[in-house]
Structure 1
Amino acid sequence: EDWLAAKAGAEVESLGTARLQELLAGDSRRELEKIIFEDLSLAEQVESFEGVTRLVHFTRDLLVLLNNFVAFRDFYAQDRKAIFQAGTLYLDGRACELCVRVASPDTHATLAALSQTYLTYCRCTRRGSTEQMHIAAAFTGGDSDNLMVGRNGIFYDRNGNDWDATIVKIVEHPISVRQAFLSPYKRIGRMIGEQIAKFAAAKDSAVDTAAGSKLSGMAPGADPAKPPTPFDVGKFAGIFAAIGLALGALGTALASVMSGFLTMPVWQMPLVVGGLVLMISGPSMIIAYLKLRQRNLAPILDAGGWAVNTKARINIPFGTTLTTLAELPMGAKRSTVDPFADKKTPWKKWAVLLALFVALGMAWDKGYIQQIFANAR
């Protein structure tokens, strides 16, 4: 083994003696050395191929990179989609153009919440395929009344492929000043509805409990039911007296407010109503306006892994272009005739008219109407 390992010429032994003698007698060595010399003379050019390739990529892609992640020209000019825009989400009668792909909604939302933008995270799947991805879509128009986890939409990517989109997470921020104007009244209505529902549920539970206790008392072998508690006249009289006092105080307060309102000049009445509306909706509108002015694209991209170290503002006029609201096609008309609509009863109109006549009668009796006409003259 040592002799075989030390034997010289093992690399060319397989060529055979005749072939080796032919190669030694010819000019093969000189030709090979000539080819090697020619290759070495081109070494500098070969080494520059990598630099040329890099230069070609810079020439082709550097301007695109600058227009998308430095100047954001493609995003703000809107003549074409920016690189980071994954497609368009159609959901709740709106088309959202600012959609970016995300790896994890929970991780992305931690930093993206600083963008002051209303974001919905959707899980997108393709029918008949195992492909799946997540996107974050910015809603910059309309309202958020019908946006909730579980709602479905359609997402079209940049290649025109359609995906089934389902909301899995929401980062709430103001969408518009109009929504902020109506939000206090919606919250009040929602609170009243919830309280009524809780009261009704409590009453149903009490009735069920009472019925169950009566049935259990009627069962064979059950303990005899306790005699009912005697009716306490004094207790209920006190309760009704307290309720009457509360209603009286409320009525007195409303009467004083109405009397003061009716004594004002006619031109001041709309100002008072407008001031009351601004007092209720003004704070939420101001907060929404300030947050809308702070909307920033950078945290959305930064949360997705893009190193964007600048402010890319999304002001109110530009934000309205990123979300398109559904409109009727040209020439289409809405039909307001419902053949299956419930028949309306006129009791609401009569109640309003009755209340109006009562208010006018009270105002006339107190002399408020005469005073208004006297001031108007």
Structure 2
Amino acid sequence: MQQYAWQFFRAGGVDQVSIRTGQDIAHIGELDQKLWVALACPTRGIEFDSATLDLIDLDKDGRIRAPELVQACQWAVAQVVDPEVLASGSDVLQMASLRSDTEEGAALLAEAGRILRLAGRAGETAVTLADVQQRLASLHAMPFNGDGLINPLTLPDAPALSALVSRIMALYGSAPGSDGQPGMGRPALDAFFADVRAIQAWHEQGQEHRCVLTQREQAVAAAQALNAVQAKVEDFFARTRLAAFDAKALVPLSPSVEGYAALGQGLLGSDSAAALPLASIVAGGDLPLTQGLNPAWTQAMQAFRSQAVAPLLGADTHTLSAAQWDALQAQLAPCQAWLAAYPASQLGDMPLAEVQALLESGAEAQLQQLIAHDEDEIQHSLHAVRLEKLIRFQRDLLKLLHNFVSFSDFYRREGAAFQAGTLFLDGRSCELTVDVGDAASHATLAGLAKVYLAYCDCRRNGQKRSIVAAFTAGDVDFLLVGRNGVFYDRQGNDWDATISKIIENPTSIGQAFSAPYKKFLRMIEEQVAKRAAAQDAGVTAGLATQAQTLVNTPAAAVAAVPARKTDVGTVAAIGVALGSLSAVAVGIFGKFIELGPWIPIALLGLVLAISGPSMLIAWLKLRQRSLGPILDASGWAINGRMNINLRLGRSLSQTAKVPAKAARMLADPYADPRSGRWIAGALALVLLLALAWRLHWVDGLLPTAWQHMAPVSAATAP
């Protein structure tokens, strides 16, 4: 098999494939993935149509991977006659571009014609993305839109059916329809009526129960009353049997005084004594049914006596023995078993009349018919969705490849998908900005990019977003946390931006050259400020102390205090110190002058000794400056190193410049006086002339009397 002939270009320190034609798109699966710039990217947080990205994201995990992109290209190529149309970037699909010799292509061609006919434009030869989206929007708004769901809001002429659909959705759940609204599907409908029929069957079984009570309603009421008190009555008789077995158990089985005392500490209500025995415990005694009952169980026992005891044992029964209790349970056991067999479902307790009304209304058949009608539109809906997908791919695939397989858009300065916008701050614009979710976690990996990064919190009309901006040129002396700027997103909206975090790295070798001197000057300024502040505090405290002393000292004592005289020893010590310092300075200057012609080299060596390490470190970091870690921290999987060299860095961070044809008025009424500058310049000129004279550089220009005399050798001396 002949290998496809790719074209590559060099950018960012790596070879990147050039994708320009439909054939390039058709053969993208043959390109070695080691040559791809990226292998994965997120579907959110980048400047790209998220709807197109969602169509490519087959597993719906929020990320586009290389196999998914290859599959999208292959699918799009299979639907068109000539893949060259996929490189057009247009959202207008020509009908002639669709294949008619495949089943799917023919279906798309037929659906495109159907959309044009429904829009009243039969005979046209092209369909647009707007045409398909308008058809889908109108289809979604129709009661039968092909999603297999029934929306109760679209059944205005059938309020009873709408109410039933809403009830089924509330009990059995709903599914999102193609219009974004919840609807009822066939599974929920089937589950609802299956439970209704199960309840109907249960009611029919109730006709055959073998309870001694002939009327079903009476038997059900008796069984329910028995269920309500059965555990408590069984507890009472168990206690009486145990007390009959051993009289010593009577006291422990009855409530104690301490228990009543604890119960009395709080507020007493009808349920406060529910945990106490049903009645007083007597060895082998009967259960009272009318008097002497636990107040918490009085109502339940009354219902039990009237609905179960009276029909079976007689209305004059006021007590219940253990034998009677056992017989009563045996008689009502069939009814209890039938009640326990009630179908467990979301419907709860549904009366037989309601069950029969639902089954006889014909609502189930009507809803099944509506769903079937809706399902008839499914194929048209699916074809329309695929047609929209193809048009989106025709418009966006090439651009996505330029931001995934290669970074052509970034290096051509056409706005890459990962670039969020432009940050204006500190007299420059930064075009390399990326959206970030969590600045702290992003900075952990992005710091490896060796780029000066500023994380900014942006706000606009109550909305918030976080970005990271790369400063790749210019000085960074005034980039501080808290500084404000303006961020313009790709749509042109302006956001207030505030620096929240900074990762420091060199921006240029020139900036690294001056960095040690700036740090030294800042250190001197800080030390001078600290010493001045300390001296000012000391002077202020001394003046305050002296003033307090003068206020508290009598006038005569003040007059008697002798005036302080100057200490001669101190003056002498100061003079000696100043003399020593001047001698050292003169010695150093003399040694420096003795270097003669080597003075420039010495100056150069001194400068290199100070700035050389900083420049070397900057050079090493600038060589390692890369885009990869910044994007990796944002969810990309960058395959290449993607270096940001000095030339690219200067184009990404541009400083303010006066237009070339602008007129400039240089007179500044607020400029600082320049007398000090002239004096400093004059002194520097004098020193330079003295140095040139000392090194014999100007002897040829001076009179003989001013020239240096050549030293007399020992051989010619008199």
TM-score under structure 1 normalisation?
Answer: 0.75
Q: How many percent identity over aligned positions?
A: 43
1:54 to partner: Cα distance: 11
Residue of structure 1 aligned with 2:475, choices 108, 132, 143 = 143
1:202-254 CA distance string (max 9 Å, x none):
221221121011122223389x9999998654455345424422331232122
Q: Distance in 1 between matches of 2:441 and 2:355?
A: 66
Q: Distance in 2 between matches of 1:109 and 1:227?
A: 69
Q: Distance in 2 between matches of 1:145 and 1:174?
A: 11
Q: Distance in 1 between matches of 2:429 and 2:355?
A: 78
CA shift in 2, pair 1:275/1:361, >3 Å:
closer
Correspondence for 2:451: 117
> What is the identity, as a one-letter code, of the residue corresponding to 1:256?
K
Q: Distance in 1 between matches of 2:539 and 2:512?
A: 41
Does structure 1 retain, via aligned residues, the 8 Å contact 2:592–2:599? no
> Please, what is the CA RMSD of the aligned residues?
4.1
Q: How does 1:1-377 map to 2 (within 5 A)?
A: 2-3=203-204, 13-14=360-361, 56=390, 63-78=398-413, 80-126=414-460, 129-220=461-552, 233-234=568-569, 237-260=572-595, 262=596, 264=597, 269-345=599-675, 347-352=679-684, 355=687
> What is the identity, as a one-letter code, of the residue corresponding to 1:118?
Y
Correspondence for 2:330: none
1:87 to partner: Cα distance: 0.5
1:58 to partner: Cα distance: 6.6
Q: Distance in 2 between matches of 1:217 and 1:287?
A: 59
Q: Distance in 2 between matches of 1:344 and 1:274?
A: 29
1:165-199 CA distance string (max 9 Å, x none):
22222111001111111112222222222222223
Report the 3-state secondary structure (helix = DSSP H, G, I; strand = E; otherwise coil) of the residue aligned with 1:219: helix
Does structure 1 retain, via aligned residues, the 8 Å contact 2:593–2:599? no
1:81 to partner: Cα distance: 1.0
1:285-320 CA distance string (max 9 Å, x none):
111111011111122122223343542221222222
> What is the identity, as a one-letter code, of the residue corresponding to 2:665?
S
Report the 3-state secondary structure (helix = DSSP H, G, I; strand = E; otherwise coil) of the residue aligned with 1:175: coil
Report the 3-state secondary structure (helix = DSSP H, G, I; strand = E; otherwise coil) of the residue aligned with 1:328: coil
1:68-115 CA distance string (max 9 Å, x none):
24422222232x211111001111221111011112323322221111
1:51 to partner: Cα distance: 11
Does structure 1 retain, via aligned residues, the 8 Å contact 2:423–2:429? yes
Q: Structure 2: give runs of 5+ residues left out of the alignment.
A: 1-199, 205-350, 697-705, 712-718
Q: Distance in 2 between matches of 1:173 and 1:65?
A: 31
CA shift in 2, pair 1:193/1:333, >3 Å:
farther
Does structure 2 retain, via aligned residues, the 8 Å contact 1:94–1:325? yes
Report the 3-state secondary structure (helix = DSSP H, G, I; strand = E; otherwise coil) of the residue aligned with 2:516: helix
Give the greater-gyration-radius structure (CA).
Answer: 2
1:157 to partner: Cα distance: 0.5
1:122 to partner: Cα distance: 1.6
Correspondence for 1:375: none
Q: Distance in 2 between matches of 1:104 and 1:251?
A: 59
1:9 to partner: Cα distance: 8.2
Could you tell which deviates more after superposition, 191-200 or 178-187? 191-200
Q: How many residues align?
A: 343
1:270-296 CA distance string (max 9 Å, x none):
444333333322221111111011111
Does structure 2 retain, via aligned residues, the 8 Å contact 1:69–1:308? no
Q: Distance in 1 between matches of 2:583 and 2:507?
A: 43
Does structure 1 retain, via aligned residues, the 8 Å contact 2:421–2:489? yes
Q: Distance in 1 between matches of 2:602 and 2:657?
A: 36
Does structure 2 retain, via aligned residues, the 8 Å contact 1:67–1:73? yes
CA shift in 2, pair 1:227/1:81, >3 Å:
farther
Report the 3-state secondary structure (helix = DSSP H, G, I; strand = E; otherwise coil) of the residue aligned with 2:466: strand
> What is the identity, as a one-letter code, of the residue corresponding to 1:72?
F
> What is the identity, as a one-letter code, of the residue corresponding to 1:300?
I
> What is the identity, as a one-letter code, of the residue corresponding to 2:360?
E
Q: Distance in 2 between matches of 1:250 and 1:368?
A: 27
CA shift in 2, pair 1:51/1:133, >3 Å:
closer
Could you tell which deviates more after superposition, 133-142 or 243-252? 243-252
Does structure 2 retain, via aligned residues, the 8 Å contact 1:363–1:369? no
Does structure 2 retain, via aligned residues, the 8 Å contact 1:114–1:299? yes
CA shift in 2, pair 1:12/1:116, >3 Å:
same
CA shift in 2, pair 1:8/1:327, >3 Å:
closer
CA shift in 2, pair 1:52/1:368, >3 Å:
farther
CA shift in 2, pair 1:8/1:290, >3 Å:
closer
> What is the identity, as a one-letter code, of the residue corresponding to 2:471?
F
> What is the identity, as a one-letter code, of the residue corresponding to 1:151?
R
Correspondence for 1:29: none
1:346-366 CA distance string (max 9 Å, x none):
5445544555566677778xx
Q: Distance in 2 between matches of 1:113 and 1:371?
A: 63
1:314-350 CA distance string (max 9 Å, x none):
1222222211222212311332212344444354455
1:161 to partner: Cα distance: 0.7
Q: Structure 1: give runs of 5+ residues left out of the alignment.
A: 17-22, 24-31, 373-377
Correspondence for 2:76: none
